[in-house]
Amino acid sequence: MSRSFGLIVVGDEILSGKRIDKHMPKVIELLAERGLELGWAEYVGDVPVRITAALGRAFASGDIVFSTGGIGATPDDHTRQCAAAALGVPLALHPEAEALIRERMQDTAREQGTVYEPDRPDNVHRLNMGVFPLGAKIIPNTYNKIPGFSVGDVHFVPGFPVMAWPMIESVLDGRYAGLFARGRAGEKSVIVYGAMEATLTPLMQAVERDHPGIKVFSLPSVDHPQHGRHIELGVKGDASRVEAAYGQLLAGLHGFDARLGPEMVR
């Protein structure tokens, strides 16, 4: 697949440390379960010009991108407006989103034992949560019915994990099942003691050159609780090519004054 999966996490609360981002680990997990991987991620605070710029890059990238946060209707929620600005299109109340939001408001009134008043100012304001860039399609929200939206391959979900993660899963399974690579990707690595990355670089380059579609990775550690100072050196990519690439990597390592530790298969 030539396109990457990307993630944009919007919110001052992440950058200030008031909240710890849980979206990136979860998106990595959801993609890995489908044989896919995250290609890039970007964090941006609640600053419209920065959000607009980040979304502009996402729309122009051709990648499949998930954006979390900032799609509510409070003063610090700017993502919907910034998406429209990045696209150069107007905002409009989406009819399906309007129906779902009204349904949610009726549910809430019923649960509270009150009468639903559609023209009450706060209820009218809530409809702003369904104001999306013109041409957007909704992403259903099974938690509280307030939808997210998609424009092309850029998908917008709330910042709340309990809502966002099922919505991301539904988009993956509903739109991108043809890209799933379960069983088609593989990874093998070995722990290497007593070697320097710079010394191993020519071997890594040779393996990548000789095995198109394979990536060689090097993960150094200086204070691992089990292995101490070491490098985890491995290959990943097309499962049918991993074994041959890994064999070349191992053979090359025997030419260095290094000790090999446990091997790992993922």
Q: For residue 191, what pLDDT is reported?
A: 94
**CATH, residue 257:** 3.30.70.2860
Tens-digit pLDDT profile for residues 131-148? 999 999 999 999 999 999
**Element housing 254 (H / E):** none
Confidence (pTM): 0.85
**Which of 147, 179, 211 is where one domain is finished?**
179
Q: At what angle do helices 161-175 and 23-32 cross, to 10 degrees?
A: 30
Contact call for residues 70 and 51 (beta carbons, < 8 A): yes
DSSP annotation of 115 reads -
Q: Are 68 and 157 in contact (CB under 8 A)?
A: yes
The edge-to-edge listing of strands for the beta sheet with 214-224 is 214-224, 228-238, 185-193, 259-265
Domain range enclosing 227: 185-265
Q: Which residue has the tokens 């019923």?
A: 110
Whether residues 33 and 82 fall in one domain: yes
Classified as helix, coil or strand, 123 is helix
Q: Given 179, 198, 227, which residue is the final one in a domain?
A: 179
**For 57-115, how does the pLDDT look when each residue is reduced to its tens digit (9 = 90+)?**
999 999 999 999 999 999 999 999 999 999 999 999 999 999 999 999 999 999 999 99
Mean pLDDT of the chain: 94
User: Which residues lie across from 33 on neighbouring strands?
Assistant: none
Q: How far is CA 59 from CA 83, 112, 117, 149, 168, in A?
A: 9, 41, 38, 14, 18
Mean pLDDT along residues 21-45: 96
Residue 114 sits in the same domain as residue 205: no
* pLDDT tens-digit map of 163-196: 999 999 999 999 999 999 866 778 899 999 988 8
Give how many domains the chain has, as a whole number. 2
Residue 176: partners with Cβ closer than 8 Å, 6 or more residues away: 64
* Per-residue model confidence as pLDDT tens digits over 183-232: 677 889 999 998 888 889 999 999 999 999 899 999 999 888 888 889 99
**Do 116 and 193 lie in a common domain?**
no
Here the tokens at position 85 are 């600005």
Note whether 129 and 197 are same-domain residues.
no
Pair 149, 37 in one domain: yes
- Shared domain for 168 and 194, answered yes or no, is no
Token couple for 232: 């985890």
Tokens representing 37 are 């991987």
Are 148 and 189 within one domain? no
Whole-number pLDDT of residue 238: 81
Among 179, 201, 227, residue at a domain's last position: 179
